[in-house]
Structure 1
Amino acid sequence: MTAARGRTGRPPLTEERKAEIRLEIARAAVELFVAQGVSATTGEQIGQAVGVSARTVWRYFPSKESCVSPLFSEGIDLIAALLREWAPDQPLEELFERTLATEIGIISGPERATVGDLVRLTRTEPGLRAVWLQTYDEAEPAFAHALAERAGLPRDGFEPAIRAAMFNAALRAAVEHHAWHGAARGTDRATDRATAETELMQTLRSALAVAADGVK
């Protein structure tokens, strides 16, 4: 009788490592899309930029456009948590003013300037536009549940769903408006980034102030 063979090969990846790989692929895809366009970018190129095979890229994402989804969806949990903490007498725009410009999904981390370019691409690239809109579609139930919990209403109630839809639309409209109509970039990238973040904050505050009347 032969002894049972032990498991060979590399150990399975942890969920944390899988998430890191997804984010690495997303960042590489964004840089390639911005530099050379979506149609000219291949799965092989995205994989090479990360140091993995194209097969690995397709294991994590069904299409090259969907590779960017982790960057779009990073901030959903943060926003939902902040909505739960929103005090009844606190203006909505004040709750978010210290966190929206530096923490939320598409504008978080060192790649936020590049991802701003990606949002601009969603205006002309149907595949990216579909991923962008899907992100907001997936975020809406999370926002509705947070608003329901805050108000002591049923999670699947009609009223929180309407409020979440208004809030969600305000966020998307503000980010798109800033990406498509914000200040033009010059040669001083540090100055440009500071200016862009200030303008984004002002746009978000304005959008949330308008939406607050319907989200209360």
Structure 2
Amino acid sequence: MSDRRKHIMRTQIARAAVDLFTAKGVSATTGDDIAHELGISTRTLWRYFPSKESCVRPLLTGGLDLMTERLRTWPPELSLTEHLERSGALAEDAGVPSMASMIDLIRMTRTEPGLRAVWLDVHHCAEEVFAEAIADRAGLTPDTLSVRVGAAMINVALRVAAERFADHADHEAGDEDDKDMADLIRAALEVVEDGLGPFTR
């Protein structure tokens, strides 16, 4: 099977898993249920993922993969936020596929420990890649303290922005928390770029 077909299948499994988790709850959903929803065998399902919770992983990595690309092409004369703006990463049409499913999923990580573990592991893995990209840009090694801290700050900013958007996605227009994902990412990264300044004055 080609990598593209594997990617498509993994994404289909992820969407089916989220739909079932949303409708039935995580504890009431089995691997057999997810496989049946897709018309595949449970054995085939386990070839792609080691657990029912891990089935959702593809829906959580898209935005982080996009950030990795942007970090690798981040020019020295621009701030990260400026680079994201100019490269279109914060444009409305640059959204991650299956946004609705992703938001439902992130919301569930608040109350489902198994999904929370997957969410945090996705970010832990992304932080390693962020550090490599930042190190290449700065001419340093990925284990340099400043690189590790910078990667962690960007990582946390993205996670908090996504969680905040998921928590407030159902608010009515005009609510003070009625911001789209791009607005929240922009605001969170501006805090990172300011460092601890606002808290030390």
SS in 1 for 2:136: helix
Q: Deviations over 1:45-73 (max 9, x none)?
A: 21122221111112211111110011112
Q: CA deviation at 1:113?
A: 1.1
Which residue does 2:55 correspond to in 1? 67
Q: Which amino acid aligns with 1:130?
A: A
Q: Deviations over 1:51-109 (max 9, x none)?
A: 21111112211111110011112343331221122223323223224324655xxx611
* Alignment RMSD (CA, Å): 2.3
2:57 is the counterpart of 1:76: no
Q: 1:14 to 1:84 in 2, by over 3 A?
A: closer
Which residue does 1:200 correspond to in 2? 181
Measure, in 1, the Cα distance between the counterparts of 2:113 and 2:30.
Answer: 17
Which residue does 1:178 correspond to in 2? 165
Measure, in 2, the Cα distance between the counterparts of 1:115 and 1:25.
Answer: 13
* Identity rate, percent: 49
Measure, in 2, the Cα distance between the counterparts of 1:39 and 1:123.
Answer: 15
Measure, in 1, the Cα distance between the counterparts of 2:117 and 2:60.
Answer: 12
Structure 1 contact 76–142 (Cα < 8 Å) conserved: no
Structure 2 contact 14–57 (Cα < 8 Å) conserved: yes
Please tell me whether Structure 1 or Structure 2 has the larger radius of gyration of its CA atoms.
1
Q: 1:115 to 1:78 in 2, by over 3 A?
A: closer
Q: CA deviation at 1:185?
A: 6.5
Out of 162, 167, 172, which is 2:149 matched to? 162
Consecutive unaligned residues of structure 1, counting only runs of 5 or more, are 1-12, 187-194
Structure 2 contact 59–101 (Cα < 8 Å) conserved: no
Consecutive unaligned residues of structure 2, counting only runs of 5 or more, are 196-201
Q: How many residues align?
A: 190
Measure, in 1, the Cα distance between the counterparts of 2:172 and 2:8.
Answer: 30
Q: CA deviation at 1:165?
A: 0.6
2:85 is the counterpart of 1:91: no
Q: Deviations over 1:122-180 (max 9, x none)?
A: 00000000000000000001000101111111233222111101110111011111111
SS in 2 for 1:74: helix
Q: How does the TM-score come out when normalised to structure 2? A: 0.85
Structure 1 contact 145–155 (Cα < 8 Å) conserved: yes
